[in-house]
C-alpha cells in the first residue's frame, strides 16, 4: 500500500486570514463581515501575520526549502460552503522537505471555507476565511505503523511549536499500483488509521477508481462523496486584489511581513 | 421631492436632496446595489464603499444610484434592462458607458457630483458623449473596497463632474491608503501643483488616424486654440492594446462573476444579458488550463510589454493627449456587434494598461483626453484645469 497525506492545520490566531473577524466559537453566522461572506465589492485584507509566522516555523521544522515570496491564487470551484466560489490559496512557501522519513512535497497557506450541513441545507460562515496551513506529503508511507508514527510525531511537533493541534488529515490510499482514492472528513489520528485499514480491505475486494470518499467515524467506513469534489480544472489565477508581488515570507530575521512592492 | 429624471439616470433614488450620485456597482448601505442587472435586483449590501464613506464624512449626501451597462460591461451605457439611459444632448443617441447614469445625472443638473467606475474608459466615454469632465485616477489612488469586481487589475473609481475643480474636490476626498484595498498602499495625496506650462505632450498617430475626420479637425483646433505643442509619434502596436485589454478583462470578469450563482448572491443566471454572458464564457474558456498559455498568459505578457514601452515614453513626455472617443455618440441601436463596440475604446484603454490617471475634457461635442504616468494625479488634474481654461 501507498499512503500520503494532505494535512490541514488550523494555526492559533485571533482573527481570520483576510479580515479582522475573530476565530473563536460563536452562534452560527455571527463572526462574519463583508469580506469572509464574499459580499460583492469586498476585497481581501493582508494575510494574517500570525498564521504566516506559524507556517514558516512549521516549514522550517519540516526541513523544507523556503521560497522568499509567493502569490495568492484564486482556486475556482463550486461548493455550498464557499461564498465566492473560489478559495484563496497561496503558492507553496516551503518545498522538498522531509519529516520522519516521509517526503514533504510542499506547504502553503489557504482559507477555510464555511460549514455546510447537507441534512439541513444550512451553511455557517463563522469558519469561512479562517487560516489553514496545508502540508502535502509524498506517498511514502507503506504500513499502518508508519502512518501512525508519522501522524503522532507530526502532532507532537505541532504541539512543540505551539501552532495548534487541530488537524484534518485528507488521506490518499492506493494498493498494488492501482488508482488513488482520496478520503476526506478525517479529524483524528485513529480516524486516519481506521480509514486506511478500511480502504486497503475495500480496494482489495472491490478494486479502486480515482475518486473522493468521505470517512464516517461512527461506522469507521468510507462512502463515496455526496457531491462531486474533484474538479478537472480550478482555473488558478493570481488574486489581482492583492498587490504584486505577494506575501513576502522573508524569514532572515524571523520576521514575516507583507510586501507591497 | 420630485426630480425630473428624464433620461434614465437613476435606478434608485432617495426622497432627500443630495449632491452625490453613485454608480450602481458601488455599495452604499441603505440602497440596493444592482450593477444594473436583473440578477442582482434584490441585493442589499450590508456595507458602504470606502470611497463613498470618505465623501459622506466630508458632508456629501448620496441622492441615488445610477444606471450603467450591466456589471459595467459596455461602452454605450444602454446594456441594461433596469433603466433606459439616453443621451441628454440628443435622446436618439446613447449616453456612453458604462457609467451612463452618472454622466446623465450631472449633465441634467440632477446632482453636482457623480462617481462611477472606469476599467477601460467607463467614466471618460460617457463624460465625452454627455459633454462633461470624466476622471480616471491612477490604479491604486482610490480604494476600490465596495466597488464590485469587474476586471480587478484595471478597475478604478472615477468621477463625473461639470468641471475640473469639482473633480479635484472629489478625487482629493476619496484618495488614500485603505487596509481593505491593498492596491492603494502607494496612494499619493492630491496637492495643488504647477499646471500645464512647460509640460511635454505627445500624441499617437495611429489613434488620431482611427478617429472620424470631424473629430480629428476639432482635436487640432483645440490644441491650436490652447497653444499646445504636441509631438505626434508612430505607435502601430497601440492597436494590440484592445485584444490585450479584453483578454484580461474576460478572464478576470469570469472569476469575479463566479459568486453570482444564486447560492448567496443573485437570482437565476438566465437573467443576465447577452454581453455579460459572452464575457463569462470567453473568460472561462481562456483561463482554462489547456487554453491559458495561448490566451491569458500572452495577454499578461503583452501588458508587461506595454508598461515598459510607456515607462520609457514618460521619461520623455509628461502627458499623452488624444481625442477620448473616435466618433460622436452612436445612435441607440446603431452598434450591433461587440467588436465594433470594443474598438471604440482604442483611445481609453492604454491608460488602464499602464495604470496611469486619465482625464477627458469636453470640447465642442468631442472629448480631449490627457493621460499621465501612474500617481501623477496632482500634476494631471491641475494641468487639465489650465487646459479647461484655455479651451
Report chain B (391 residues): mean pLDDT per 10 consecutive residues: 82 91 98 97 97 98 98 96 97 98 97 98 98 98 98 98 98 97 93 95 98 98 96 98 98 97 92 96 95 93 98 97 98 94 96 98 98 98 98 93
Evaluate whether residue B243 is within a structural domain. no
What's residue A227's pLDDT? 59
Instruction: Classify residue B77: in a domain, yes or no.
Output: yes
- pLDDT of A226 > 70? The answer is no
Query: How many CB atoms within 10 Å of residue B194?
Result: 12
* Domain around B33: 10-231+307-390
Query: Which helix H or strand E contains B172, and what residues bound it?
Result: helix B164-174
> What residues of B are annotated to the active site?
23, 98, 122
Q: Tally the residues of chain B.
A: 391
Nearest-5° Cα angle at B123, B260 to B56: 80
Give the distance from residue B141's alpha carbon to the nearest chain A alpha carbon, in angstroms.
13
Identify whether the C-beta of residue A199 lies closer than 8 Å to the C-beta of residue A170. Answer: no
For B181, nearest residue in chain A (alpha carbons)? A43
Is A34 close to B45, i.e. CB distance below 8 A?
yes
Query: If you average pLDDT over residues A54-60, what whole number do you get?
Result: 93
Q: Which run of H or E residues covers position A105?
A: strand A102-111
* Candidate from A83, A233, A241 with C-beta closest to B264: A83
In a domain, B124, yes or no: yes
Say yes or no for a CB contact (<8 Å) between B183 and A241: yes
* β-pair partners for A5: A171
Those residues whose C-beta lies under 8 Å from the C-beta of residue A128, and which sit 6 or more positions away, are A16, A32, A36, A37, A38, A81, A82, A83, A111, A112, A113, A114
CB contact under 8 A, B182 and A46: yes
Grid cell of B90 as nine digits = 440628443
Interface of chain A toward chain B, CB-CB under 8 angstroms: 34-35, 37-46, 74, 76, 78, 80, 83-86, 233, 235, 237, 239-243, 258, 260
**Contact flag A42-B146 (C-beta cutoff 8 Å):** yes
- Provide the domain count of chain B: 1
- The pLDDT value recorded for residue A144 is 96
Residue with the larger pLDDT of the pair A253 and B364: B364
Alpha-carbon distance A135 to A119, whole Å?
Answer: 30
Minimum mean pLDDT range among A7-16, A66-75, A197-206, B336-345: A66-75
Q: What is the mean pLDDT of chain A?
A: 90
ipTM score: 0.95
Average pLDDT (A36-60) is 94
**Is B256 inside a domain boundary?**
no
Our CA angle for B124, B58, B10, nearest 5°, is 45
Contact check, Cβ <8 Å, B265/A40: yes
> H-helix or E-strand containing B279?
helix B274-286
B216, B208 in Cβ contact below 8 A?
yes
| Alpha helices in chain A, H assignment, sequence order | 49-61, 144-161, 189-206
Q: Which helix (H) or strand (E) holds B352?
A: helix B346-353
* Residue A7 dihedral angles phi and psi, to the nearest 5°: -95, 120
Which of A41, A74, A85 minimises the CB distance to B148?
A: A41
| Least confident stretch, A42-56, A132-146, A209-223, A231-245 | A231-245
Closest-CA distance, A47 to chain B, in angstroms, reads 11
The answer as to whether B92 is a domain residue is yes
Q: Tell whether the model's pLDDT for residue A248 goes beyond 70.
A: no
In a domain, B246, yes or no: no
Cα B385 to the center of its chain, rounded Å? 19
Nearest to B135 by CA among B114, B107, B159, B171: B159
Q: Which three cell numbers stand for residue A176?
A: 498494488
Q: Which chain B residues are closer than 8 Å to A76 by Cβ?
A: 255, 258
Average pLDDT over residues A124-133: 97
Cis-peptide into B258, omega within 30 deg: no
C-alpha cell of residue B247? 483578454
Whether the per-residue pLDDT at A15 is higher than 70: the answer is yes
SS3 assignment, position A247: strand
CATH number at residue B192: 3.90.1300.10
If you average pLDDT over residues A145-151, what whole number do you get?
A: 97
Task: Write down the pLDDT at residue B259.
Answer: 96
Domain presence at residue B271? no
How does strand A102-111 pair with strand A94-99? antiparallel
Give the residue-averaged pLDDT of A169-177: 95
CB contact under 8 A, A235 and B289: yes
The predicted pLDDT at position A258 comes to 46
- Categorize the per-residue pLDDT at A67 as very low, low, confident or very high, splitting at 50, 70 and 90: confident
pLDDT at A255 over 60: no
- What is the distance of C-alpha B65 from the center of its chain? 16
What does the pLDDT read at residue A168? 93
> Coil, helix or strand for B158?
strand
**Would you say residue B290 lies in a domain?**
no
Amino acid at each position: 500500500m501507498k499512503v500520503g497525506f494532505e494535512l490541514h492545520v488550523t494555526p492559533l490566531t485571533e482573527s481570520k486570514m483576510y479580515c479582522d473577524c475573530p476565530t473563536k466559537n460563536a452562534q452560527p453566522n455571527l463572526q462574519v463581515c463583508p469580506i469572509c461572506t464574499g459580499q460583492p465589492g469586498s476585497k481581501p485584507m493582508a494575510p494574517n501575520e500570525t498564521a504566516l509566522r506559524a507556517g514558516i516555523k512549521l516549514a522550517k521544522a519540516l526541513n523544507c526549502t523556503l521560497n522568499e515570496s509567493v502569490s495568492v491564487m484564486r482556486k475556482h470551484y463550486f461548493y455550498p460552503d464557499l461564498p465566492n466560489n473560489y478559495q484563496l490559496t497561496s503558492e507553496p512557501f516551503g518545498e522538498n522537505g522531509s519529516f520522519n522519513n516521509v517526503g514533504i512535497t510542499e506547504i502553503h497557506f489557504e482559507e477555510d471555507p464555511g460549514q455546510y450541513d447537507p441534512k439541513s441545507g444550512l451553511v455557517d460562515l463563522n469558519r469561512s476565511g479562517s487560516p489553514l496551513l496545508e502540508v502535502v506529503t509524498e506517498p511514502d508511507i507503506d504500513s499502518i505503523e508508519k502512518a501512525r508514527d508519522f501522524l503522532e510525531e507530526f502532532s507532537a511537533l505541532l504541539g512543540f511549536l505551539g501552532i495548534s493541534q487541530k488537524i484534518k488529515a485528507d488521506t490518499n490510499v492506493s494498493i498494488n499500483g492501482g488508482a488513488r482514492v482520496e478520503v476526506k472528513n478525517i479529524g483524528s489520528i485513529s480516524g486516519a488509521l481506521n480509514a486506511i485499514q478500511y480502504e486497503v480491505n475495500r480496494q482489495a475486494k472491490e478494486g479502486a477508481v480515482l475518486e473522493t470518499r468521505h470517512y464516517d467515524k461512527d461506522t469507521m467506513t468510507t462512502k463515496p462523496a455526496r457531491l462531486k469534489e474533484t474538479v478537472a480544472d480550478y482555473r488558478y489565477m493570481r488574486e489581482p486584489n492583492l498587490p504584486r508581488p505577494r506575501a513576502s515570507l522573508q524569514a532572515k530575521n524571523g520576521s514575516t511581513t507583507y510586501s507591497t512592492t | 421631492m420630485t426630480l425630473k429624471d428624464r433620461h434614465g439616470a437613476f435606478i434608485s433614488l432617495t426622497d432627500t436632496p443630495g449632491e452625490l450620485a453613485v454608480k450602481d456597482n458601488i455599495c452604499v448601505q441603505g440602497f440596493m446595489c444592482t450593477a444594473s442587472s436583473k440578477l442582482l435586483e434584490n441585493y442589499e449590501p450590508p456595507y458602504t464603499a470606502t470611497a463613498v464613506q470618505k465623501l459622506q464624512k466630508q458632508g456629501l449626501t448620496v441622492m441615488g444610484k445610477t444606471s450603467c451597462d450591466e456589471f459595467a460591461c459596455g461602452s454605450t451605457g444602454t446594456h441594461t434592462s433596469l433603466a433606459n439611459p439616453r443621451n441628454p444632448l440628443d435622446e436618439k443617441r446613447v449616453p456612453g458607458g458604462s457609467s451612463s447614469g452618472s454622466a446623465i445625472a450631472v449633465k441634467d443638473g440632477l446632482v453636482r457630483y457623480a462617481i462611477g467606475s472606469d476599467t477601460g474608459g467607463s467614466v471618460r466615454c460617457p463624460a465625452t458623449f454627455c459633454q462633461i469632465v470624466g476622471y480616471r485616477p491612477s490604479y491604486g489612488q482610490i480604494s476600490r473596497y465596495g466597488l464590485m469586481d469587474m476586471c480587478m487589475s484595471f478597475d478604478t473609481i472615477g468621477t463625473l463632474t461639470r468641471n475640473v475643480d469639482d473633480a479635484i474636490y472629489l478625487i482629493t476626498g476619496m484618495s488614500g491608503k485603505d487596509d481593505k484595498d491593498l492596491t492603494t498602499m502607494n496612494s499619493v495625496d492630491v496637492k495643488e501643483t504647477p499646471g500645464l506650462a512647460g509640460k511635454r505632450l505627445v500624441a499617437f498617430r495611429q489613434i488620431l488616424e482611427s478617429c472620424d475626420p470631424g473629430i480629428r479637425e476639432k482635436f487640432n483646433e483645440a490644441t491650436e486654440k490652447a497653444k499646445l505643442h504636441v509631438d505626434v509619434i508612430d505607435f502601430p502596436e497601440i492597436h494590440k492594446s484592445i485584444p490585450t485589454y479584453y483578454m484580461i478583462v474576460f478572464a478576470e470578469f469570469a472569476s469575479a462573476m463566479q459568486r453570482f450563482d444564486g447560492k448567496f448572491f443573485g437570482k437565476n443566471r438566465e437573467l443576465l444579458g447577452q454581453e455579460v454572458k459572452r464575457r463569462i464564457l470567453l473568460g472561462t474558456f481562456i483561463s482554462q488550463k489547456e487554453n491559458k498559455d495561448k490566451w491569458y498568459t500572452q495577454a499578461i505578457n503583452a501588458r508587461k510589454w506595454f508598461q515598459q514601452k510607456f515607462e520609457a515614453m514618460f521619461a520623455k513626455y509628461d502627458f499623452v493627449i488624444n481625442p477620448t472617443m473616435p466618433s460622436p455618440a452612436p445612435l441607440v441601436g446603431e452598434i450591433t456587434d461587440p467588436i465594433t463596440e470594443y474598438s471604440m475604446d482604442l483611445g481609453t484603454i492604454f491608460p488602464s494598461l499602464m495604470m496611469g490617471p486619465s482625464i477627458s475634457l469636453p470640447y465642442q461635442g468631442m472629448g480631449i483626453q490627457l493621460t499621465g504616468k501612474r500617481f501623477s494625479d496632482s500634476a494631471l488634474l491641475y494641468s487639465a484645469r489650465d487646459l479647461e481654461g484655455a479651451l
